[in-house]
């Protein structure tokens, strides 16, 4: 027997929102035999958006029972039956979470009418409930209310059962089937063909646009985790927007981490949050002016540029330079910290010996600058991190010169570089930034079995 469930909620995430209405329609094989529904007092505010969509107001549910008060009815009506819904993981996730808050474990077999409809009634332009029922000649009474949508979904299920000539329903109910956890618009074959190897993966929407980029040691296992966990990324809209998955193998985790970071900046996917916040990295750069003085400047990091130090923000760069100037008695103006037509302000206070006014020879001042850089570079090494390739005939290589990341690529398994230039010719140059530095430094602290070649 089947129970078709539809709920209305205060929002889209099960962990932070609550059920405000639930309907359960019971089917015996392909025949509706019973229905039940109730409003539920969620114990929290119902927003104007939800009210405009459903017609349910805070006043409407004021005298309604709580979920706890109807929990026994829901348990009894679903016991031993298959939990069916249109985009089942959304409704199931909310109901399961409500029971979890009551200290009750809720476990039922699941069926998704979106996924089944794509298999049994292929070729429709859309499989949302409104479009699907219209194509099937089913009229929805009271759209966006639990009982109206549940009855419409039940009638869809009746047609699915009667037209399931290839046994899609029985296959979906098998324990090892992933049908119940996959996004409603994703072809199961796409998931089944995923490799169990390190790499970067991409979620695409209906137009083919990348909406999320991730990395994994095991692509298939990591992607399955997206669909089973009740994290913010597993919300309803995210799942509905996943229509396809592509991937690139990287051979090892470090290359996957670097590629993920680079691709997020290149594609700016809708559902990637963390690294999108930190894309404007800044660097401290060294240059020589026309009078022969070595000077510092702050600028955004760009591909091919090689800062002496990189930071997440402009202010972090300034703070770093202030400390460098103070420790090594450098000029604030020549270090990009002050602007004035003549000598710097510190010179007037006796804190600068006058390089900005030409009172210190360029050679003597530059020696202090390079002494400062030497202390900085004591911790900055030049090295190649060599790891597993995408197959047995190649290896990956990440190049770091004087602490700055230059890029990465793949070389033959027997490649034996003698100089840094040997590696530069074989890699793709990519820009350095604070996030890349964090990835490399964090990776080096682990015991990964990679070969480190120092130059």
**What residues are annotated to the active site?**
144
**The 383-388 sheet, strands edge to edge:** 428-429, 404-412, 394-401, 383-388, 451-454
Q: In whole angstroms, what is the distance from residue 301 CA to residue 309 CA? A: 10
Residue-wise DSSP of 105-120: -----EEEHHHHHHHH
User: Which residues on neighbouring strands pair with residue 245, listed in sequence order?
Assistant: 203
| Cβ–Cβ under 8 Å, residues 211 and 241 | yes
Give the SS3 label for residue 270. Answer: coil
- DSSP alpha helices (H): ranges in 137-218? 146-163, 168-172, 188-192
Angle, CA of 260, 214 and 259, to the nearest 5°: 15
Q: In whole angstroms, what is the distance from residue 290 CA to residue 383 CA? A: 34
Pairing of strands 2-9, 451-454: unpaired
* Crossing angle for the helix pair 434-444 and 253-267, to the nearest 10 degrees: 170
Q: In whole angstroms, what is the distance from residue 82 CA to residue 28 CA? A: 11
Q: In whole angstroms, what is the distance from residue 381 CA to residue 401 CA? A: 6
| Cβ–Cβ under 8 Å, residues 300 and 310 | no
Residue 83's H or E segment, with its range, is: strand 82-85
Take residue 123 and report the two structure tokens written for it. 């070729």
**Taking Cα atoms as reference points, which of 7, 15, 9 lies closest to residue 235?**
15
**Taking Cα atoms as reference points, which of 401, 432, 403 lies closest to residue 417?**
401
**Taking Cα atoms as reference points, which of 181, 11, 157, 153 lies closest to residue 92?**
181
Q: Quick one: three-class SS letters along 218-238? A: CHHHHHHHHHHCCCHHHCHHH
CA torsion 270-273-275-278 (nearest 10°) is 100
């Amino acid at each position: 027997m089947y129970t078709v469930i539809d709920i209305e909620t205060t929002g889209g995430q099960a962990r932070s929102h609550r059920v405000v209405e639930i309907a359960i329609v019971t089917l015996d094989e392909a025949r509706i035999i019973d229905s039940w529904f109730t409003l539920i007092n969620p114990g929290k505010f119902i927003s104007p958006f939800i009210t405009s969509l459903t017609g349910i107001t805070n006043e409407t549910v004021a005298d309604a029972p709580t979920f706890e008060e109807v929990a026994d009815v829901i348990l009894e009506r679903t016991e031993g039956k298959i939990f069916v819904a249109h985009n089942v993981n959304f409704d199931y996730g909310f109901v399961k979470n409500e029971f979890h808050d009551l200290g009750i474990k809720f476990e039922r077999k699941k069926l998704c009418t979106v996924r089944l409809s794509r298999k049994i009634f292929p070729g429709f332009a859309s499989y949302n409930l409104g479009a699907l029922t219209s194509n099937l000649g089913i009229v929805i009474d009271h759209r966006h209310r639990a009982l109206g949508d549940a009855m419409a979904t039940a009638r869809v299920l009746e047609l699915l059962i009667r037209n399931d000539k290839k046994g899609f329903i029985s296959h979906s109910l098998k324990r090892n089937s992933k049908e119940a956890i996959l996004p409603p618009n994703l072809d199961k074959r796409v998931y089944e063909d995923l490799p169990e190897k390190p790499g970067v993966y991409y979620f695409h929407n209906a137009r083919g646009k990348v909406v999320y980029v991730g990395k994994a040691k095991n692509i298939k296992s990591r992607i399955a985790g997206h669909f089973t966990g009740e994290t913010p990324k597993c919300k309803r809209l995210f799942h509905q927007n996943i229509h396809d998955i592509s991937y690139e193998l990287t051979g090892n985790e470090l290359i996957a981490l670097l590629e993920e970071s680079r691709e997020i900046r290149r594609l700016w996917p809708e559902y990637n949050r963390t690294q999108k916040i930190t894309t404007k990295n800044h660097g401290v750069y060294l240059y020589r002016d026309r009078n022969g003085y070595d000077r510092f400047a702050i600028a955004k990091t760009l591909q091919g540029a090689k800062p002496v130090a990189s930071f997440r923000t402009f202010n972090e760069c300034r703070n770093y330079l202030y400390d460098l100037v103070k420790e090594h008695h450098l000029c604030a103006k020549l270090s990009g910290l002050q602007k004035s037509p003549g000598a710097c302000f510190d010179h007037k206070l006796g804190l600068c010996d006058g390089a900005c006014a030409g009172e210190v020879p360029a050679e003597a001042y530059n020696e202090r600058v390079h002494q400062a850089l030497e202390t900085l570079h004591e911790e900055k090494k030049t090295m190649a991190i060599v790891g597993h390739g995408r197959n047995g005939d190649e290896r990956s290589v990440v190049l770091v010169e004087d602490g700055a990341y230059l890029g990465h690529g793949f070389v033959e398994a027997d490649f034996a570089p003698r100089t840094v230039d040997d590696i530069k010719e074989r890699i793709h140059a990519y820009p350095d930034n604070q996030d890349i530095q964090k990835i490399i430094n964090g990776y080096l602290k682990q015991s990964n079995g990679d070969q480190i070649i120092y130059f």
